[in-house]
Amino acid sequence: MAVVTIGLQIGSLGLELGRLLAQELRYQFVSPPEIIAEAARRYQLKPEQFQLVDERQPRFWERLRTDSIRISAYFRAVALERAAAGNAVIVGRSIPSLIPNGTREALKILAVAPVKTRIEQVMRGEKLDATAAERRVHHFDQEMRSWISLMQGMDIDDPANYDLVVNTGLRPLPQIAASVIALVKPIEHASDAISRQAVTDLCTSAQVRAALMAHPKIGHAAITVETEQGVVTLRSSSLVAPWDDLAVAVVRQVKGVKDVRLEVEVPPPPLRSE
């Protein structure tokens, strides 16, 4: 089992590379519109509400950060569910940021290209003139860099956050795909129960976080979620009766949860003035 995640600069042919890889590997191909459609259906929202994570129209400042966190949690839950299913190529500017560095089952790729090449691609793909396309490229880069830094704490332009950075402007896509496949095959062969469980636990934590966020009486409560071999640990200073039983009940309904543990963090006493 393996999952390939591709982050992409606009106009870098990352989607095209993803489709080609999925075809050659016989993997499922997953793009942001598919994730958004499923998240909107599952969490009863309109697809338009996911514009802040849609790679084409981020415009993150148009929403309150609390709303952004909620919708991003739903997007993350669906994306990581696809990753946990394995044998998938998932493409999207923010997708690699959802998976921690060093995850053995995942290959994290960043597709880049020279600015001139990207502008030309945007001109063709979006039917824009050169000036509008150049503005679109630079605006998109700035928005997505700020957005992912805010929500994920990750610099999406830092090569250290990827296993591989590919320049689609220098080599034909079939050559690039062949090189990527050469990296994917050893991951497939080395896949074992431990590495698969790590991705499954990552997915479960995302499902739990989204379920808690979606509950009207829990919502944005400060709760840390960790999962190990299906056992979910909730940490928070707000998990006191009756909210502790409510949170546990919500989490137990999430698929893949084997048990739930609570760790109530006691806040430090207030400082006394002399």
Quick: pLDDT tens for 179-232. 999 999 999 999 999 999 999 999 999 999 999 999 999 988 889 999 999 999
233 within 8 A of 226, measured Cβ to Cβ: yes
Q: Is 274 exposed, middle or buried (0-12, 13-18, 19+ CB in 10 A)?
A: exposed
Confidence of residue 122 (pLDDT cuts 50, 70, 90): very high
Confidence of residue 243 (pLDDT cuts 50, 70, 90): confident
Confidence of residue 161 (pLDDT cuts 50, 70, 90): very high
**Position 239 pLDDT exceeds 90:** no
Helix axes 130-152, 115-126, angle to 10 degrees: 110
Bridge partners of residue 262, in order along the sequence: 234
Query: Mean pLDDT over residues 70-79, rounded?
Result: 92
In terms of CATH architecture, what is 3-192? 3-Layer(aba) Sandwich (3.40)
Q: Is 206 exposed, middle or buried (0-12, 13-18, 19+ CB in 10 A)?
A: buried
Residue 57, SS3 per DSSP: coil
Dihedral sign (CA 57, 62, 66, 67): negative
Bridge partners of residue 28, in order along the sequence: 88
Q: Say what the pTM is.
A: 0.86
**Position 61 pLDDT exceeds 60:** no
Domain ranges of the chain: 3-192, 215-264
pLDDT at residue 56, as a whole number = 44
User: Buried (b) or exposed (e) across 104-143, using 16+ Cβ within 10 A?
Assistant: ebbbbbbbbbeeebbbbbbbeeeebeeeebbebbeebbeb
